[in-house]
Amino acid sequence: MTTTSSYAIEARGLVKEFRGARGTVRAVDGLDLVVRPGEVVAFLGPNGAGKTTTVDLVLGLAAPTAGTVRVLGKEPARAIADGQVAAVMQTGGLLRDITVGESVELTAALFGRTSPAGPFLERAGIADLADRTVGRCSGGQQQRLRFAMALVSEPDLLLLDEPTAGMDVRGRRDFWTAIRHDAEAGRTVVFATHYLQEAESYADRVVLISQGRLVADGTVAEVRALAGSGSLEDVFLDLTAEPAADPSARTTAEGGTR
């Protein structure tokens, strides 16, 4: 690690509001979250819980309304510019008219490197697609390409927003094998997912949010225990009972308080 911070992510009192004609939506509502280097953390929550917004704040793609977020001890934008953080998002980030191999080489060039694409495509399980135009790749193949591109800077922290959406069964298995391999080598991985089974199988720790707030945090076993002998799904349904997808639940009049 090239930082003196003991945290990969340190969010304190994080708030993000979106102001619109109908009032203010508080997407992230006072989140305190610390992720230590080497952890593999599943970030769970129902639709509209604030997962993507939190990931955007950690990536410096949005500025917090209140609170702070540090990544590897730095401002998010600094950590990204230094190549220490990479992300696999659900959409975007690809150029449709170049090949899969060129996409990886272009990413390397952005970091001032001339790395061959092969090893990264290999790790993402798409070495055979190197010469295919991105626009002709399936959704799952494009997702694997995003993963390959995220590996180029050999980041200390990898943020994954529903990384296996659209991947087939083998794709998922290969993807998680690659992620676990990297995690064992010390990489920190935070992934948002709706697949609770992926959290149970691959995460060291589960963070559950609902309506922008943290409602459970611990190992899979600890979080499961919150529902007695229940499953992670039982805990999820218990603790996220309110309809988070209803924005009125978190909407106040402009400038108002909850």
Q: Which residues bind ligand ATP (CB under 6 A)?
A: 18, 20, 25, 27, 45, 47-53, 247
Residues 6+ away with beta carbon under 8 Å from 11: 31, 32, 33, 34, 54, 57, 58, 67, 68, 69, 70
As given in the structure block, the two tokens for residue 193 are 């997912």
**Nearest-angstrom CA–CA distance, 47 and 52:** 10
Taking the complex as a whole, how short is the minimal distance between the CB of residue 206 and ligand ATP, in angstroms? 15
Taking the complex as a whole, how short is the minimal distance between the CB of residue 145 and ligand ATP, in angstroms? 21
Length of the chain: 258
Which is nearer to ligand ATP, 19 or 113 (by Cβ)?
19
**Nearest-angstrom CA–CA distance, 258 and 249:** 10
Measured in degrees and rounded to the nearest 5, phi and psi for residue 157 equal -125, 130
Which is nearer to ligand ATP, 68 or 91 (by Cβ)?
91
Which is nearer to ligand ATP, 18 or 73 (by Cβ)?
18
Which is nearer to ligand ATP, 32 or 184 (by Cβ)?
32
Taking the complex as a whole, how short is the minimal distance between the CB of residue 236 and ligand ATP, in angstroms? 12
Which is nearer to ligand ATP, 53 or 188 (by Cβ)?
53
**Nearest-angstrom CA–CA distance, 189 and 117:** 22
**Nearest-angstrom CA–CA distance, 104 and 117:** 5
Taking the complex as a whole, how short is the minimal distance between the CB of residue 20 and ligand ATP, in angstroms? 6
Taking the complex as a whole, how short is the minimal distance between the CB of residue 161 and ligand ATP, in angstroms? 7
